[in-house]
């Protein structure tokens, strides 16, 4: 089997982009020290619900933790690095490994008892309902 060099879309034929050279330099310099990562998230809202989607492909739901304390929702977990198995040597690794921890301050009008989470196809979806009565209200002056 022949390995082909990966060329990032948009790169020139004459060589690498300066950013690619710098990425390789710094990635090699800190490769052994990187123990955390930050997964991508999407936060959306409907009229009666909030949703947080966390991209964590390759994890099992047992690798994820969700906690609520003092109106702060914390999602954490760990992606363990695969060692060189079966005689394979990795030439390039772009997957982020280690632990992650993302925290979100919940608005006062979120019903914390309604928080639910599902995990499917590498996406953790955390949903929470809004309470009917919002804590902010108009005060009439008498």
Q: Is the pTM of this model over 0.75?
A: no
Q: Is residue 32 part of a domain?
A: no
The pLDDT of residue 90: 76
Q: Is residue 27 part of a domain?
A: no
What mean pLDDT is reported for the chain? 81
Q: Is residue 59 part of a domain?
A: yes
Q: Is residue 139 part of a domain?
A: no
The pLDDT of residue 66: 97
Residue 1 in this model has a pLDDT that exceeds 50: no
Sign of CA dihedral 115, 49, 132, 75: positive
Q: What is the CATH classification number for the domain harbouring 107? A: 2.60.40.790
Q: Is residue 89 part of a domain?
A: no
Greater pLDDT, 84 or 39: 39
- State pLDDT tens for residues 56-88: 998 999 999 999 999 999 999 998 877 666 777
CA 106 to chain centre: 18
- Looking at the chain, the whole-number percentage of residues with pLDDT higher than 90 is 48
Residue 15 in this model has a pLDDT that exceeds 70: no
Here the tokens at position 90 are 């990795």
Tally of domains in the chain? 1
Q: Is residue 124 part of a domain?
A: yes
Averaged pLDDT, 26-51: 79
Residue 43 in this model has a pLDDT that exceeds 50: yes
Q: Is residue 109 part of a domain?
A: yes
Residue 135 in this model has a pLDDT that exceeds 80: no
C-alpha span between 125 and 11 (Å, rounded): 35
Range of the domain at 65: 37-81+97-132
Q: Is residue 9 part of a domain?
A: no
């Amino acid at each position: 089997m022949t390995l082909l060099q990966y060329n990032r879309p948009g790169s020139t034929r004459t060589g690498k982009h300066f950013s690619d050279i710098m990425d390789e330099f710094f990635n090699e310099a800190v490769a052994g020290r990187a123990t955390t990562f930050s997964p991508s998230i999407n936060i959306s809202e409907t009229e009666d619900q909030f949703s947080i989607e966390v991209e964590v492909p390759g994890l099992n739901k047992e690798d994820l933790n969700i906690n609520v304390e003092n109106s702060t929702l914390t999602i954490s977990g760990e992606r363990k690095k695969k060692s060189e198995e079966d005689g394979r040597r990795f030439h390039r690794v772009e997957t982020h490994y280690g632990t992650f921890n993302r925290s979100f301050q919940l608005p006062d009008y979120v019903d914390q008892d309604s928080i639910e989470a599902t995990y499917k196809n590498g996406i953790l979806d955390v949903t929470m309902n809004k309470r009917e009565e919002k804590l902010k209200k108009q005060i009439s002056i008498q």
